[in-house]
Amino acid sequence: MSLKVSGTKIVDENDKEIILRGAGLGGWMNMENFISGYPGCEFQIREALSEAIGQEKSEFFFDKFLEYFFMEPDAKFFSSLGLNCIRLPFNYRHFEDDMNPRVLKESGFKHLDRVIDLCASHNIYTILDLHTAPGGQNTDWHSDHGGHIANFWNHKDFQDRVVWLWEKIAEHYKSNKWIAGYNPLNEPTDPAHTRVIQFYSRVHSAIRAVDPDHIIFFDGNTFASDFSHFGDVHKNWDNTAYSIHDYSIFGFPSAPEAYVSSNEQLRRLRRSYEKKRQWMDERGLCVWNGEWGPVYARKQYEGEATDSINEVRYRVLKDQLDIYNKDRLSWSIWLYKDIGFQGMVYLDLETPYMTLFKSFLAKKHRLAIDAWGADDTAVRPVYQPLLDHVLQEIPASYRDLYPAPVWRLSDRITRLARNILISEFMVKEWADHLVGKSLEELDAIAGSFKYEACQKREGLNKILTASAEAAV
């Protein structure tokens, strides 16, 4: 049944409260480096692979990847955990080419329709999330623009194209009651803090002109953390929920201290969460936690410490869920499937993909070229002189460039010098692993992402299931 916002709640057609609990299908129709093991951005590896093995084979490989990443067994398993919603991140490039703007690629609906229908057959709602916009709506790799400037906010035409795209998507899905709603822009970073609000008003009006019924989920500015500049604009937006992304530093390798659920640590968890949702609480608005969750240690990298590290991460997970359940919060954990860092299910190390890229993935890990949850122990001495140079030469008053403080000074330096620069040199190296592979071999490599080829993160899944059951 279709859903709507009623005050602070999401309800069905009978006004019964529905709490959405689920996960993001990250790394699927918007690929990300740490999720599937490539360096840099998706557009870079797609170009490199097409050059390395030819367009036909490259398109075959990526199409099979999209097919195998989420199939009937995935939907069945997901539903068995007591979860009822999947957030579907997608890249605008599936629907439009930069060199042929505003010409809809109907092929973009192929896998999106398939997965939405699969989920509906298992009573799973879906939320459509535009994770990547032309020009890049944020400063990070997952907006797939290859730099650190969010030029989406600097060029109106980029914004016009996204408004156009949402009109097309809303027209396509307006009658689908298993779609919980639309998440028009993932994690915006607008330095002015005003253009994001103006854009939201435009896209809200455009969607409503086509689809008056589906919920619209708006992320806060600065990676879905900041609504402080939104004022009373919500009065112009109907049937709208507001999305925070509630990651905790305690769930990552860079945690400042060992997490033991102390009173002070629990206070910090709750305070960080409450600060993100303060604007909504002051106005009685509906809150959705669109992303959250720890990352996990892997035996091939962390060795004997893996289990003890992950027990700590599960403790963070449980404490966050306790907070959410008390508030009857709808949430979508990040993420469902990957190569072993954060997913509820993850590729077996003996699959063709993981064996083919074993040495390459170890090199990636050692060089810390992914920003997400990186352990930079091996390369910190390489970048420390650059950080020291900036500290010495740039006065403190000029160092806090947006999106500080979310990006610390060290984050900015390593994003540019490590995650952008060094990763560029490794893109072709990734693609060359697939040179000479037949269609059958490429199919088998992509098949590594099938549910049957994956391991389950049992500790995580048991906690999610227990939490969902306890909160009914």
Say how far apart CA 150 and CA 139 lie, in whole Å. Answer: 5
Burial class (CB in 10 A: 0-12, 13-18, 19+), 424: middle
Helices and strands per DSSP (H, E), number in the chain:
18, 13
- Cβ pair 363, 55 in contact under 8 A: no
User: Is 311 an active-site residue?
Assistant: no
Could you say which of 17, 51, 187, 452 is catalytic? 187
Q: How many residues does the chain have?
A: 472
Can you tell me the distance from the alpha carbon of 172 to that of 169, in angstroms, rounded to the nearest whole number? 5
Q: Which of 291, 302, 304, 452 is catalytic?
A: 291
Q: At what angle do helices 109-121 and 72-80 cross, to 10 degrees?
A: 40
Tell me the HSE value of 123 on the side-chain side, using a 13 A CA sphere: 7
59 annotated active-site: no
Maximum pairwise Cα distance, the chain: 63
Alpha helices by DSSP H, 211-369:
221-224, 263-283, 299-302, 306-326, 352-356, 358-367
Report yes or no: 89 and 24 within 8 Å, Cβ to Cβ: yes
Query: How far is 311 from 463, CA to CA, in rounded Å?
Result: 12
Distance of alpha carbon 35 from alpha carbon 295, whole angstroms: 11
Contact 201, 185 (CB under 8 A): no
Task: Give the catalytic positions in this structure.
Answer: 187, 291
